[in-house]
């Protein structure tokens, strides 16, 4: 971005001579602007998965997106444009996959179809008395209750000060209880309205939904291809969808949201005939050998650190064999960095006696890594690689949370907490 600050009237060049050629300075600054479509690998994955979820939301639960033009504009500017660029404009930063997505996005009229669905949902909602988004209505009612409560308190305090303390108690109760009760009631009515009319909207927009879902499948296929091409486990990204109408996905389980809506937890699938061992014999690009039969994963749950980042408390848990793929996916989608002074994190690193193999033997630590997940936003964790157990011949891998994380991503809470 070009600075608005005034350029010194008499700048000096490196030879001490005046240089008033501000155009060159401005041109140099303009050249520093990075186009939004210049994305790193992780950012491409994030935006592709983000767009899959948004479009699936539009095609299955569009009422939640009505009267929210600013939100849709933000999705467009933060996800769509950086991922596929401006329609009809070439960009040196778009690879073949993203260029194909750009062409499909335009050919399938994805943006117009989404807008048409939202507009038809808004029209139907307005015909049934819904003139604004439910969350905005809840916010307005809460503000009114607060204003009325404060007005009553101020009036009583002014006209009848000796009774203000008694008046404050019911006002606080009203302020705390009434908004929550109204919010619950309004959300129940909103959910009932959606359940009643959602199928009607889907029937009205069959062609639009069909074209949107074709593009969703294009996104799924491209994301899967990127994971496989970079030798990253396809199980490394798990997310929720409202529909099962897609291929190249594995549907892990069905679950019900707080609003009673059915969603499906999914991750990407390996191509038919290819198992994870075919993709790579190491965990991603880590160089760490993968041995499905003998690798043993251990988690130090609920890790607690002191102010210096030294591990103080934890609960050792052995990962069941049927969950190995989940940990392998995390390792396969991570960057690894050597930790020069492991004793600063775990005091007994050289002479560990506390962490044991499942057979009961003490694990002898061999290496210590700091790991950065490229599949989760700003999440780091530690990995201790143990020597092969002399008793049961297992290869122990110990993972635990890093003290630098503000929170654990929802998809990893079951592992680290």
Does 278 have pLDDT greater than 90?
no
Burial class (CB in 10 A: 0-12, 13-18, 19+), 176: exposed
pLDDT tens column, 5-35:
333 444 444 444 444 455 554 454 444 566 8
Other residues' Cβ atoms within 10 Å of the Cβ of residue 130: 20
For 171-185, 320-334, 384-398, which range has the lowest pLDDT when averaged over its residues? Answer: 171-185
Question: Could you tell me if 393 and 295 are in contact, meaning their C-beta atoms sit under 8 angstroms apart?
Answer: no
Tell me the CA distances in angstroms from 5 to 2, 22, 23, 26, 28, one per residue in order. 9, 12, 14, 12, 15
Mean pLDDT score across all residues of the chain: 82
Does 375 have pLDDT greater than 60?
yes
pLDDT tens column, 51-73:
999 999 999 989 888 898 999 99
Please give the average per-residue pLDDT across 252-281, as a whole number: 73
Q: What is the pLDDT of residue 281?
A: 58
Task: Please state, in angstroms and rounded to a whole number, the distance separating the CA atoms of residues 57 and 63.
Answer: 9
For 165-169, 175-179, 183-187, 301-305, which range has the lowest pLDDT when averaged over its residues? Answer: 165-169
Q: Work out the pLDDT band at 154, boundaries 50, 70, 90.
A: confident
Task: Please state, in angstroms and rounded to a whole number, the distance separating the CA atoms of residues 12 and 153.
Answer: 65
The winner for highest mean pLDDT among 13-27, 35-49, 106-120, 140-154 is: 106-120
Task: Please state, in angstroms and rounded to a whole number, the distance separating the CA atoms of residues 223 and 46.
Answer: 10
Does 185 have pLDDT greater than 90?
no
Q: What is the pLDDT of residue 8?
A: 42
Q: In what order do the strands lie in the sheet with 249-256?
A: 238-241, 262-268, 249-256
Does 415 have pLDDT greater than 70?
yes
Q: What is the pLDDT of residue 138?
A: 73
Q: 377 versus 75: which is more confidently predicted?
A: 75
Q: Work out the pLDDT band at 82, boundaries 50, 70, 90.
A: very high
Q: 274 versus 116: which is more confidently predicted?
A: 116
Task: Please state, in angstroms and rounded to a whole number, the distance separating the CA atoms of residues 48 and 220.
Answer: 8
pLDDT tens column, 205-251:
999 999 999 999 999 999 998 888 777 878 778 899 999 989 999 99
Question: Could you tell me if 134 and 186 are in contact, meaning their C-beta atoms sit under 8 angstroms apart?
Answer: yes
Please give the average per-residue pLDDT across 296-318, as a whole number: 91
Domain segments of the chain as ranges: 33-278, 280-416
Question: Could you tell me if 365 and 384 are in contact, meaning their C-beta atoms sit under 8 angstroms apart?
Answer: yes
Strand partners, 262: 256
Please give the average per-residue pLDDT across 188-215, as a whole number: 90
Task: Please state, in angstroms and rounded to a whole number, the distance separating the CA atoms of residues 122 and 127.
Answer: 9
Nearest CA among 278, 181, 194 for reference residue 242: 194
For 88-92, 375-379, 383-387, which range has the lowest pLDDT when averaged over its residues? Answer: 375-379
**Cβ-proximal residues to 403 (8 Å cutoff; 6+ apart), any chain:** 303, 305, 309
Does 1 have pLDDT greater than 70?
no
Q: What is the pLDDT of residue 287?
A: 65
Q: What is the pLDDT of residue 334?
A: 83
Q: What is the pLDDT of residue 396?
A: 93
**Cβ-proximal residues to 154 (8 Å cutoff; 6+ apart), any chain:** none
Nearest CA among 44, 406, 26, 14 for reference residue 219: 44
Give me 12's structure tokens: 């000096």
Please give the average per-residue pLDDT across 80-108, as a whole number: 88
What angle (nearest 5°) sits at the alpha carbon of residue 194, between those of residues 192 and 199?
120
């Amino acid at each position: 971005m070009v600075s608005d600050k005034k350029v010194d009237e008499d700048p000096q060049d490196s030879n001490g001579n005046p240089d008033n050629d501000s155009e060159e300075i401005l041109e140099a600054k303009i050249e520093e602007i990075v186009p939004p479509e210049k994305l790193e690998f992780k950012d491409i994955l994030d935006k592709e998965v983000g767009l899959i979820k948004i479009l699936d939301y539009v095609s299955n639960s569009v009422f939640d997106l009505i009267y929210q033009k600013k939100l849709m504009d933000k999705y467009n500017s933060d996800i769509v444009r950086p991922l596929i660029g401006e329609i009809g404009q070439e960009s040196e930063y778009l690879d073949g996959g993203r260029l194909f997505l750009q062409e499909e996005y335009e050919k399938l009229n994805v943006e117009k179809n989404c807008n048409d669905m939202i507009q038809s949902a808004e029209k139907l909602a307005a015909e049934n008395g819904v003139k604004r988004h439910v969350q905005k209505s809840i916010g307005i009612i809460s503000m009114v209750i607060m204003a009325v409560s404060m007005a009553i308190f101020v009036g009583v305090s002014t006209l009848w000060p000796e009774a203000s303390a008694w008046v404050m108690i019911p006002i606080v109760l009203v302020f705390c209880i009434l908004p929550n009760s109204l919010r619950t009631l309004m959300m129940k009515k909103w959910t009932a309205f959606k359940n009643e009319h959602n199928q009607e909207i889907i029937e009205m927009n069959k062609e639009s939904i069909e074209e949107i879902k074709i593009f969703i499948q294009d996104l799924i296929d491209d994301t899967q291809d990127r994971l496989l091409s970079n030798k990253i486990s396809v199980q490394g990204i798990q997310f929720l969808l409202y529909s099962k109408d897609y291929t190249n996905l594995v549907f892990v389980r069905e679950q019900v949201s707080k609003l009673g809506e059915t969603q499906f937890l999914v991750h990407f699938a390996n191509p038919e005939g290819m198992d994870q061992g075919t993709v790579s014999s190491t965990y991603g690009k880590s160089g760490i050998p993968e041995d499905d039969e003998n690798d043993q994963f251990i988690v130090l749950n609920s890790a607690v650190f002191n102010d210096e980042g030294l591990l103080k408390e934890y609960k050792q848990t052995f990962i069941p064999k049927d969950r190995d793929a989940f940990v392998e996916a995390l390792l396969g989608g991570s960057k690894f960095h050597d930790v020069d002074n492991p004793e600063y994190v775990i005091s007994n690193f050289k002479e560990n006696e506390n962490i044991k193999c499942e057979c009961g033997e003490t694990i002898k630590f061999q290496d210590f890594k700091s790991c950065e997940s490229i599949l989760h936003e700003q999440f780091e964790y530690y990995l201790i690689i143990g020597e092969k157990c002399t008793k049961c011949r297992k290869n122990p891998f110990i993972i635990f949370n890093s003290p630098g994380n503000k929170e654990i991503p929802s998809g990893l809470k079951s592992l680290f907490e």
